[in-house]
């Protein structure tokens, strides 16, 4: 058996598929981002850099881009703060069947539809909704909370959606830490905080980094969550891009904005790459 | 005896087949593109239509005129009937998205009030691109529980005593046109976009949330998310009649945005005859009277249908009073350049709204 | 120490509450009579009854399952092949190709979805079932490669050598020795792929055609353009389906790691 032929027949289908669904579409989008209009029907189309120029000339596009990245960073940090202790508790202080059952319970909601989860938050947060109702029942006279259609509402929904990612990745790397190592550190007189920050956190770094990227990347491109939970405060670069494709029919501008966003993501990944390389 | 029954049956069926152009046998299905909850998707109406013609109707929805145009552009040969605000009919025709409709055989077209049937926004070069269906106005509606006296000015939307309690539709053209009304400008050719920009920015403390569909409006209203919100006249009467909400529609003294909606047939329509049968049914008084009295509707373009409404009907009293509707400015076609400016203005304003 | 243990237990319970409360609320409201979601809840099963005759949601569910099933078959077989190639062979572009498998999860879905929309529209592939399968397979490929590779790590190559020395050809070895041994990993990967496809909203949203939508797209459209608690009812059913699926995965793939 010719090895070359074997390799080719194993990998060709998958990479052809990826070329058709990722590489070519991204190239088509790059091409579109330099057009003046969508080339259908009898529209006159010419080459232009105007779509990119628009981004730099109109301050509000970059403000919204920044806002999206800020949202991504905040959601990621909150997920880390909530998820890491959770993964730690799960991996190191609970054993046996309870552990496995709890673990399943934590990733179960992650298995339900993301949209369904956001939808459930609208039920909880809305005016006269469950939250207001129960708080007013416990503490009469609290009045409306006005949580719906605020920035915190978006944060809440996104953290809820992506928290299991962080727990999952952190858990896997914490679980791999040998207990004997921790015992050894303890017997040498290391305090709990020392063990946590000098031993566990560095060893769990691959999980933390992986979880952060798995959360950060989808969040900056989110448009459904801000629309449903954010109301007046739900305008982000993601919603603007979606508008260009579904409503305004300015595909070239949408493509240009997408490419700028992707460029920034790659820049961030590149910035983190020394760290990632060290982990390997 | 048997033969006579057979012949009778045969000739009846033949007649129906002739009238419907063969649709009875094929039991066709047509696809209608419209706003959600806007008449064409009333289940009783679809049953009535199916009983009469055997045609099934399925729906697809849009949340803005721009989205509707995008759907037509990217889905050629999919839709049979589309609802188009007459301000956009000319643009759709020019882009080759809709075809000229031959209205011969559509019996109810004759009852349309001539000014609307021949409205220059719907008819070009003697060809009908949209059949006038209903018209109404856009301004705002209030929650009666939150007001002692109903306001009579559009400035209520900017009133600080309702800060954070206003609902607003997320639509660039509508937002700019409402600001134009408040500032006394021409809605189709606003003279001072700078002033409009300032007026829209002043909404920042006012707006609680955006709404995008009638259903969403009802949900938010019933959850007490707002005291008052921009709204459409027909929808307000639906919220009142069909959902029992304490809604009152306001026709402000500064005026309001008027619109005339037409039904059109897209280019490369899959079922032209069925589409025409459906449009004809939509302007039938049988449908309209039931729609307005039991559900709530805007005003029909069919004069005969309006005259069959009960004498105290909102659509007969308010909109037949020429003094009350004198300030209504009707939406007209808009230049591409202006529309692009408006879309960008609204996006910038929304970015400014963020806390 | 005991104190710390209790704190961590309480903390875990709080996290679980946070994760489950909204879902429980949504389920509860699916049994609520009021169309406008008024509370207190008046119990009723009317939305489930309405669901039984909602053909739009039925066909969307059927579409979701069709897309998920077909794309699972495709991505599992292609992904397993890629994982095998990486495991067995060393070749020049291997590092590059390994990196190339990840764009589907390292580029925001919004960008991938809109790019597919532009490209498919442009070259005439269009939208609908076939377009969605194209997209979903690309998205689930990386997951399949990761899961199957993980299982391959503990595979003993001596097994393949033994088969070969007994005269089995390359492909005979693959299909009669390696694949059966890999089966638990392949099944886990398939279930992963199925769940990814079933859950996928963003890509489907841009590739849905009028008359062909999937359940998540239909739910989103309903939330934006008019809905009744039928949406809660169908969401409840979806959650239970997904959870069953996860229990299936956990049978083949140890999430808890070593014990």
Residue B300 to chain A, least CA–CA distance (Å): 28
Is there a contact between A115 and C201 if contact means CB atoms under 8 Å apart? Answer: yes
> Residue A184 belongs to what H/E stretch?
helix A179-187
Residue C221 to chain B, least CA–CA distance (Å): 8
Give the neighbours of chain C: at least 3 Cβ pairs within 8 Å. A, B
DSSP assignment, residue A247?
Answer: T
Q: Examine residue C107 and state whether it is found in any structural domain, yes or no.
A: yes
C chain contacts of residue A167, beta-carbon cutoff 8 Å: 15
Looking from the CA of B103 toward its CB, the CA atoms found within 13 Å total 23
Which residues have C-beta within 8 Å of that of residue A118, sequence separation ≥ 6? A157, A161, A224, A225, A228, A229
**Residue A127 phi, psi dihedral angles, 5° rounding:** -55, 140
Beta-carbon neighbour count of residue A38 at 10 Å?
A: 20
Instruction: Report helix, strand or coil for B159.
Output: coil
- The distance from CA A135 to its chain's CA centroid, rounded to whole angstroms, is 31
| DSSP H stretches of helix in chain B | 2-20, 23-26, 43-53, 65-74, 86-94, 114-117, 172-182, 193-201, 214-222, 233-241, 272-282, 285-290, 303-307, 314-317, 336-353
Looking from the CA of C117 toward its CB, the CA atoms found within 13 Å total 28
B chain contacts of residue C221, beta-carbon cutoff 8 Å: 61
More confident residue, B105 or B160: B160
Q: Examine residue C98 and state whether it is found in any structural domain, yes or no.
A: yes
Question: Would you state the pLDDT for residue A27?
Answer: 93
CA distances from B251 to B60, B140, B156, B326 (A): 31, 8, 12, 11
**Percent of chain A surpassing pLDDT 90:** 38
Looking from the CA of C182 toward its CB, the CA atoms found within 13 Å total 29
Residue C159 to chain B, least CA–CA distance (Å): 54
**What CA–CA distance (Å, rounded) separates B37 from A100?**
48
Local confidence band at B27 (pLDDT 50, 70, 90 cut-offs):
low
Give the neighbours of chain B: at least 3 Cβ pairs within 8 Å. A, C
Torsion over CA: B64, B65, B66, B67 (sign): positive
Number of domains composing chain C: 1
- Domains of chain B plus CATH, in order, are 27-132+259-321 (3.40.190.10), 136-257+329-353 (3.40.190.10)
Q: Examine residue C226 and state whether it is found in any structural domain, yes or no.
A: yes
Local confidence band at B24 (pLDDT 50, 70, 90 cut-offs):
very low
**What CA–CA distance (Å, rounded) separates C216 from B161?**
40
Is there a contact between B216 and C209 if contact means CB atoms under 8 Å apart? Answer: no
Interface of B with C (CB under 8 A): 31, 33, 36-37, 58, 60-61, 63, 71, 74-75, 78-79, 212-216, 218-219, 222-223, 243
Q: Examine residue C176 and state whether it is found in any structural domain, yes or no.
A: yes
Answer whether residue A91 shows pLDDT above 90: no
Local confidence band at A158 (pLDDT 50, 70, 90 cut-offs):
very high
| C40 cis-preceded (ω within 30 degrees of 0) | yes
Bridge-based pairing of strands B228-232 and B131-143 is antiparallel
More confident residue, A33 or A278: A33
The mean per-residue pLDDT over the stretch C141-162 comes to 87
Please choose, from the candidates B210, C107, C205, the residue with its C-alpha nearest in 3D space to the C-alpha of residue A220.
Answer: C107
Local confidence band at B4 (pLDDT 50, 70, 90 cut-offs):
low
If you measure CA to CA, which chain A residue comes closest to B208? A232
| DSSP H stretches of helix in chain C | 2-30, 46-52, 55-88, 94-100, 103-106, 109-123, 129-152, 157-165, 170-173, 179-199, 202-207, 215-225, 230-252
If you measure CA to CA, which chain C residue comes closest to A24? C119
CA distances from B259 to A71, B135, B239, B329 (A): 40, 6, 19, 8
Interface of A with B (CB under 8 A): 38, 40-42, 58, 60-61, 63-64, 67, 126-129, 144, 146, 148-151, 231-235, 240, 243, 246-249
**What CA–CA distance (Å, rounded) separates C221 from B36?**
10
The mean per-residue pLDDT over the stretch C116-123 comes to 89
Is C225:B212 a contact under the CB 8 Å cutoff?
A: yes
Torsion over CA: C89, C94, C99, C101 (sign): negative
Please choose, from the candidates C61, C52, C55, the residue with its C-alpha nearest in 3D space to the C-alpha of residue B46.
Answer: C55
Could you say which of A32, A160, A167 has the minimum Cβ distance to residue C118?
Answer: A32
Q: Looking up tokens 């301050």, which residue turns up?
A: A59
Is there a contact between C210 and B212 if contact means CB atoms under 8 Å apart? Answer: no
Bridge-based pairing of strands B256-266 and B328-330 is parallel
Cα angle: C30, vertex C36, C39; to 5 degrees: 70
Answer whether residue C255 shows pLDDT above 70: no
Is A278:C130 a contact under the CB 8 Å cutoff?
A: no
Local confidence band at B13 (pLDDT 50, 70, 90 cut-offs):
very low
pLDDT in tens, B221-240: 988 888 999 999 888 988 98
Could you say which of C29, C118, C246 has the minimum Cβ distance to residue A251?
Answer: C118
Q: Examine residue C151 and state whether it is found in any structural domain, yes or no.
A: yes
Local confidence band at B19 (pLDDT 50, 70, 90 cut-offs):
very low
The mean per-residue pLDDT over the stretch C108-133 comes to 89
The mean per-residue pLDDT over the stretch A126-133 comes to 76
In chain C, residues 194-253 whose CB comes closer than 8 Å to chain B: 209-211, 221, 224-227
Question: Would you state the pLDDT for residue A238?
Answer: 93
| CATH number of residue C80's parent domain | 1.10.3720.10
Question: Would you state the pLDDT for residue B313?
Answer: 79
- The distance from CA B42 to its chain's CA centroid, rounded to whole angstroms, is 14
Local confidence band at B20 (pLDDT 50, 70, 90 cut-offs):
very low
Answer whether residue B12 shows pLDDT above 70: no
Answer whether residue C254 shows pLDDT above 70: no
Q: Which of A87-91, A136-140, B180-184 has the lowest mean pLDDT?
A: A136-140
For an interface test with B, which of C226, C231, C232 has the most B Cβ atoms less than 10 Å from its Cβ?
C226
Local confidence band at A278 (pLDDT 50, 70, 90 cut-offs):
low
Range picked from A13-27, C99-113, C119-133 for highest mean pLDDT? A13-27
Provide the residue count of chain B.
355
Residue C164 to chain A, least CA–CA distance (Å): 11
> Residue B256 belongs to what H/E stretch?
strand B256-266
Q: B139: which strand partners?
A: B231
Q: Examine residue C135 and state whether it is found in any structural domain, yes or no.
A: yes
**What CA–CA distance (Å, rounded) separates A187 from B265?**
82
Looking from the CA of A76 toward its CB, the CA atoms found within 13 Å total 19
Which residues have C-beta within 8 Å of that of residue A111, sequence separation ≥ 6? C195, C199, C242, C243, C245, C246
Answer whether residue B192 shows pLDDT above 90: yes
Is there a contact between C226 and B222 if contact means CB atoms under 8 Å apart? Answer: no
Burial status of residue A209 (CB atoms within 10 A of its CB: 0-12, 13-18, 19 or more): middle
Is A228:A179 a contact under the CB 8 Å cutoff?
A: no
Answer whether residue B18 shows pLDDT above 70: no
Q: Looking up tokens 């070969």, which residue turns up?
A: C164
Please choose, from the candidates B33, A136, A140, the residue with its C-alpha nearest in 3D space to the C-alpha of residue C39.
Answer: A136
For an interface test with C, which of B38, B143, B215 has the most C Cβ atoms less than 10 Å from its Cβ?
B215
**What CA–CA distance (Å, rounded) separates A94 from B127?**
77
Torsion over CA: B145, B149, B154, B158 (sign): negative
Q: Examine residue C194 and state whether it is found in any structural domain, yes or no.
A: yes
- Domains of chain A plus CATH, in order, are 59-279 (1.10.3720.10)
CA distances from C243 to A110, B99, C12, C237 (A): 9, 50, 20, 10
Average pLDDT of the residues of chain B: 87
Could you say which of B58, B79, B215 has the minimum Cβ distance to residue C225?
Answer: B215
Residue C71 belongs to what domain range?
55-252
In chain C, residues 39-68 whose CB comes closer than 8 Å to chain B: 56
**What CA–CA distance (Å, rounded) separates C178 from B85?**
63
Could you say which of A258, A265, A269 has the minimum Cβ distance to residue C114?
Answer: A258
**What CA–CA distance (Å, rounded) separates B300 from B321?**
15
């Amino acid at each position: 058996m010719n090895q070359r032929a074997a390799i080719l027949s194993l990998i060709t289908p998958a990479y052809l598929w990826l070329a058709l669904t990722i590489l070519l579409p991204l190239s088509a989008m790059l091409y579109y981002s330099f057009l003046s209009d969508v080339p259908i029907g009898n529209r006159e189309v010419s080459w232009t850099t105007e779509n990119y120029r628009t981004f730099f000339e109109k301050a509000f596009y970059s403000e919204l881009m920044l806002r999206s990245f800020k949202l991504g960073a905040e959601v990621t940090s909150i997920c880390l703060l909530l998820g890491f202790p959770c993964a730690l508790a799960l991996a190191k202080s609970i054993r046996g069947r309870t552990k496995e059952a709890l673990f399943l319970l934590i990733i179960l909601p992650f298995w339900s539809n993301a949209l369904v989860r956001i939808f459930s938050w609208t039920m909880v947060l809305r005016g006269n909704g469950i939250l207001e109702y129960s708080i007013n029942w416990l503490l009469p006279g609290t009045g409306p909370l006005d949580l719906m259609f605020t920035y915190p509402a978006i944060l809440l929904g996104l953290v809820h959606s992506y928290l299991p990612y962080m727990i999952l990745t952190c858990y896997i790397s914490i679980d791999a830490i040998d207990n004997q190592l921790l015992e050894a550190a303890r017997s040498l007189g290391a305090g709990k905080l020392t063990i946590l920050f000098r031993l566990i956190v560095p060893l769990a770094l691959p999980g933390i980094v992986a979880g952060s990227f798995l959360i950060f990347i989808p969040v900056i491109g989110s448009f459904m969550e801000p629309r449903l939970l954010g109301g007046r405060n739900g305008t982000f670069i993601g919603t603007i891009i979606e508008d260009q494709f579904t409503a305004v029919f300015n595909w070239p501008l949408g493509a240009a904005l997408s490419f700028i966003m992707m460029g920034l993501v790659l820049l961030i990944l590149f910035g983190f790459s020394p760290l990632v390389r060290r982990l390997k | 005896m048997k033969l006579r029954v057979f012949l009778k049956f045969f000739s009846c069926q033949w007649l129906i087949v002739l009238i419907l152009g063969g649709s009875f046998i094929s039991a066709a299905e047509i696809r209608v593109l419209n706003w959600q909850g806007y008449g064409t998707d009333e289940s009783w109406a679809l049953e009535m239509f199916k009983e009469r013609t055997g045609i099934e109707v399925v729906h697809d929805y849009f949340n803005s005129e721009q989205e509707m145009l995008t759907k037509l552009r990217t889905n050629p040969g999919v839709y049979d009937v589309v609802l188009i605000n007459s301000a956009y009919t000319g643009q759709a025709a020019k882009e080759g998205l809709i075809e000229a409709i031959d209205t011969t055989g559509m019996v109810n077209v004759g009852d349309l009030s001539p000014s609307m049937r021949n409205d220059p926004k719907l008819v070009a070069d003697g060809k009908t691109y949209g059949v006038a269906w209903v018209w109404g106005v856009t301004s705002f509606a209030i929650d009666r529980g939150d007001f002692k006296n109903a306001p009579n000015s559009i400035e209520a939307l900017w009133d600080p005593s309702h800060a954070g309690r206003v609902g607003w539709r997320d639509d660039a053209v509508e937002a700019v046109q409402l600001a134009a009304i408040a500032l006394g400008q021409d809605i189709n050719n606003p003279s001072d976009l700078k002033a409009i920009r300032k007026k829209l920015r002043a909404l920042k403390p006012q707006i609680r949330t955006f709404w995008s569909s009638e259903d969403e409006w009802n949900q938010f209203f019933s959850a007490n998310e707002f005291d008052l919100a921009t709204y459409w006249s027909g929808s307000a009467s639906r919220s009142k009649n069909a959902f029992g909400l304490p809604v009152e529609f306001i026709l402000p003294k500064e005026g309001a945005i008027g619109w005339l909606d037409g039904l059109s047939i897209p280019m490369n329509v899959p079922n032209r005859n069925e589409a025409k049968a459906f449009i004809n049914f939509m302007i039938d008084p049988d449908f309209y009277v039931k729609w307005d009295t039991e559900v709530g509707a805007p005003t029909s373009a069919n004069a005969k249908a309006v005259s069959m409404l009960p004498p105290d009907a909102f659509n007969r009293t308010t909109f037949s009073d020429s003094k009350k509707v004198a300030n209504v400015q009707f939406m007209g076609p808009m230049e591409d350049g202006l529309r692009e400016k408006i879309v960008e203005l609204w996006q910038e304003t929304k970015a400014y709204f963020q806390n | 120490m005991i104190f710390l243990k209790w704190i961590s237990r309480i903390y875990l319970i709080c996290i679980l509450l946070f994760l489950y409360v909204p879902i429980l609320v949504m389920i509860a409201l699916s049994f609520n009579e009021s169309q406008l979601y008024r509370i207190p809840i008046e119990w009723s099963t009317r939305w489930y009854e309405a669901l039984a005759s909602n053909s739009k949601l039925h066909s969307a569910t059927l579409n979701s399952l069709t897309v998920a099933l077909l794309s699972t078959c495709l991505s599992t077989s292609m992904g397993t092949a890629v994982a095998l190639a990486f495991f067995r062979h060393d070749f020049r572009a291997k590092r590059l190709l390994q990196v190339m498998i990840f764009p589907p999860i390292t580029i925001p879905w919004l960008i991938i979805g809109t790019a597919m929309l532009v490209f498919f529209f442009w070259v005439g592939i269009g939208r609908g079932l076939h377009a969605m399968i194209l997209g979903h397979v690309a998205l689930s490929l990386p997951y399949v490669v990761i899961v199957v590779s993980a299982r391959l790590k503990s595979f003993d190559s001596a097994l393949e050598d033994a088969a070969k020395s007994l005269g089995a050809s390359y492909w005979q070895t693959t299909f009669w020795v390696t694949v059966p041994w890999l089966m638990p990993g392949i099944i886990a990967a398939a279930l992963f792929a199925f769940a990814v496809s079933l859950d996928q909203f963003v890509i489907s949203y841009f590739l849905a055609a009028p008359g062909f939508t999937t359940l998540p797209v239909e739910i989103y459209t309903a939330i934006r353009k008019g809905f009744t608690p039928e949406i809660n009812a169908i969401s409840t059913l979806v959650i239970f389906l997904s959870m069953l699926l996860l229990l299936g995965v956990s049978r083949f793939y140890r999430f808890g790691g070593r014990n």
